[in-house]
Amino acid sequence: MSSMELILAQPRGFCAGVDRAIEIVERAIAQFGSPIYVRHEIVHNRYVVDDLRAKGAVFIEDLAEVPRGSTVVFSAHGVSQSVRREAEQLGLLVFDATCPLVTKVHIEVAKMRREDREIVMVGHHGHPEVEGTMGQSDLGMYLVETVEDVINLKVKDPHKLAYVTQTTLSVDDAAEVTAALRARFPDIVEPKRNDICYATQNRQDAVKFMAPQCDIVLIIGSPSSSNSNRLREVASRLNVSAYLIENADALDPAWLVGKRRVGISAGASAPEILVQQLISRLKESGIASVRKLDGVEEHVQFPLPRGLGGNEERGSSISTHDSVNSN
């Protein structure tokens, strides 16, 4: 095993939306004291959630669990309009950690609805981002995951349709599904810019570049993390053995037998410390060298909400997203 080489994807790990969401919870705890309630896992990573819980965050799924007058943070995945209304009715102080790139999709939905279009969402059933985005439309939306779903889709008026997508889809799968939508509904209105976010795109591109150089790819991320699962799939589709692991403890040494080049990346919600722990563990197994690949350097930052040291206004962050997605 001593001739084994470790290859690190660039970029990997935290995106700007995750950085911001974690900072919102930390600042809310510092400013208002614990407990700070957080609706749903702030980001889909066990390490992050456990760390914030230890600092005073209380994670809940239903706002009914939050005592009146408390402070609540909405997770990076976003929430439906009905959850916003419920928070208002309960008199909760809300800090919204919805990623501005998810908010951009919500704003698109509102515009499409004003044009009286029915909306198709391309996304994964049951994912909180999908629930939040679908909950932006008073009359609901159609959810499609696959080309087959598109074939079976029944709409009221094929000439009054629009679509949006989840931000963390497989770029390749989404391209197939949206091509099927355009083929079946030629008048369908597309999002102004791709809804798949810069972080998802960059991390998938980086794994596509890395995987052919590897005998095995390890992705650090939680099983509930959509973008982390997609990274594993990207490597796997290039016929490289690929595993999604929560941390170094989940590494099975048997996977490494006969492997000379081990590629590592991490989902957008996975902290770099977990990557470093995995590298240390692999070094104990006799990794000879570590090679960091070249890739996109990201300099994206999102403003914090007003009231937590930032001056974000709902509209002001949109120009930031647009320039981000045009990268």
Of positions 18, 38, 79, 143, contacts ligand SF4 by CB under 6 A? 18
Map the footprint of ligand SF4 across residues 69-88, applying CB under 6 A. Answer: 76
Q: Which stretch binds ligand SF4 (CB under 6 A): 138-146, 192-200, 204-212, 247-255?
A: 192-200
Nearest residue (beta carbon) to ligand SF4: 17
For 195, the token pair is 């809804």
Strands in 161-165's sheet, in edge-to-edge order, are 142-144, 118-122, 161-165
Taking residues 251 to 280 in sequence order and writing x for each that binds ligand SF4 by CB under 6 A, - otherwise, the string is -----------------x------------
Cα–Cα distances (Å) from 92 to 55, 84, 133, in that order, read 21, 10, 21
Residue 181 binds to ligand SF4 (criterion: CB under 6 A): no
> Which amino acid is it at 7?
I
Considering only CA atoms, which of 125, 128, 166, 105 is closest in space to residue 38? 128
Q: Interior CA angle at 207 toward 1 and 178, to 5°?
A: 150
Task: Tell me, yes or no, if 61 is annotated catalytic.
Answer: no
Residue 15 binds to ligand SF4 (criterion: CB under 6 A): yes
Nearest approach in angstroms of CB 296 to ligand SF4 is: 13
* DSSP one-letter string for 31-74: HH-S-EEEES-SSS-HHHHHHHHHHTEEEES-GGGSPTT-EEEE
Catalytic residue among 41, 118, 129, 312: 129
Q: Interior CA angle at 121 toward 164 and 232, to 5°?
A: 90
Residue 168 binds to ligand SF4 (criterion: CB under 6 A): yes
Task: Give the binding-site size for ligand SF4 (rule: CB under 6 A).
Answer: 15
Cβ proximity to ligand SF4, 163 vs 198, nearer residue: 198
Of positions 6, 42, 99, 217, contacts ligand SF4 by CB under 6 A? 99
Taking residues 288 to 327 in sequence order and writing x for each that binds ligand SF4 by CB under 6 A, - otherwise, the string is ----------------------------------------
Cα–Cα distances (Å) from 80 to 6, 41, 221, in that order, read 42, 16, 26
Binding site for ligand SF4 (CB under 6 A): 15-18, 76, 99, 101-102, 167-168, 197, 199-200, 227, 268
